[in-house]
Amino acid sequence: MLRFIATRLVQLVVICFLISVFAFLLVHLLPGDPTLAILGPNDTPAARAVLLHQLGLNKGLVSQYGTWIMNIFHGNLGASFLTKQTVTNALGVAVPIDLELVVVSQVLALLVAIPMALIAALRPNRLFDRIATTSTFAMLSLPTFVAGPLLVLVFAVTLKWVPATGFDRLSQGLGQNLKSVILPSVALAIGSVTVYYRLLRADLIATLQEDFVTMARSKGLSTRYILMRHVMRPSSFSLLAGAGISIGTLFTGAFVVEVLFQLPGIGYQLVQAIYSRDYLVVQGMALVAAVAFVVVNFGVDFLLTILDPRVRRA
């Protein structure tokens, strides 16, 4: 067990290191002197000298990396050369929005997927199961950039229930806040519903064939009791694994959703930085997003290992 965790941790550190090297080298892939690209219109000899010193570009590559990574460990991810805002500040604005999107969308997805899977698994291959399984195919084939505009068209443009774009902070009232995140969350949830539904359904069907379920049935326990008490728990590991699978989808989806609905999360800010060629912001944000992504993934893996001993033997 300990050894397993240790191996995983080493992998995690190695991957994070590689991500940082990759992010570091990006700026050096720019043709010519990176200061030219970074400064753009603000290019003056004095500014260049300052920047060269700031970036430590007059030293060797390895020592440059050392300085850069030490700065990051001290919370200095660089700053935008356009707005002068530090990347750390920008992240402070963005991260709560991303977290809210993830939480609301996943809660929505689970609220839909769990009852659907329960009903489908009780009578596999019957009418409800067929309809539900087929509709998850449809949901699987609705990428966020298709589902998002569709939702806007129906609920914002035609029905005018919610605003099409913009973000209202929680401080502007819970109702306002929820109104501005509900469509993006639904757009994100669509992909996750399929994940949760399919995994839970397959697991439930397998668990329902176990002897202990037959035993419980023959004792005369009600179906509801059996499902909640005996079946749900051993069938829910996959849900957790599903969360891990979902992360990739959520990640890509969140970028599209934030741009479509103009929510200033990490995706939106990163894309804006890419448009305006704000290289240091791109570098800093990409680094944080990639590391967060990898860490969350490994976190899910850890949790699974602790909860389910069967994984450990792998």
212 sits near another protein (criterion: CB under 8 A) = no
Pick one of 7, 141, 172, 214: the residue that binds another protein (CB under 8 A).
Answer: 141
Helices (H) and strands (E) in the chain, counts: 14, 0
Strand ranges for the chain from DSSP E: none
64 sits near another protein (criterion: CB under 8 A) = no
Q: Name the phi and psi angles at 79, rounded to 5.
A: -140, 160
Pick one of 94, 104, 113, 289: the residue that binds another protein (CB under 8 A).
Answer: 289
Q: Is 232 helix (H, G, I), strand (E, B) or coil?
A: coil
Q: Is 220 helix (H, G, I), strand (E, B) or coil?
A: coil
26 sits near another protein (criterion: CB under 8 A) = yes
248 sits near another protein (criterion: CB under 8 A) = yes
Look-up of token digits 């219109």: 41
Pick one of 19, 52, 162, 182: the residue that binds another protein (CB under 8 A).
Answer: 19
Stretch that binds another protein, among 42-50, 97-105, 122-130, 167-175 (CB under 8 A): 122-130
Stretch that binds another protein, among 23-31, 71-79, 107-115, 166-174 (CB under 8 A): 23-31
Give me the 225-244 binding string for another protein, x by CB under 8 A, dash otherwise: ------------xx--xxxx
For 164, residues 6+ apart whose C-beta sits below 8 A from its C-beta are 152, 156, 157, 261
Query: Would you state the structure tokens that stand for residue 314, as one six-digit string?
Result: 């792998």
Pick one of 5, 15, 114, 213: the residue that binds another protein (CB under 8 A).
Answer: 15
For 28, residues 6+ apart whose C-beta sits below 8 A from its C-beta are 34, 61
5 sits near another protein (criterion: CB under 8 A) = no
d(CA 22, CA 45): 29
Q: Which residue, 177 or 298, is less far from another protein as judged by CB? A: 298
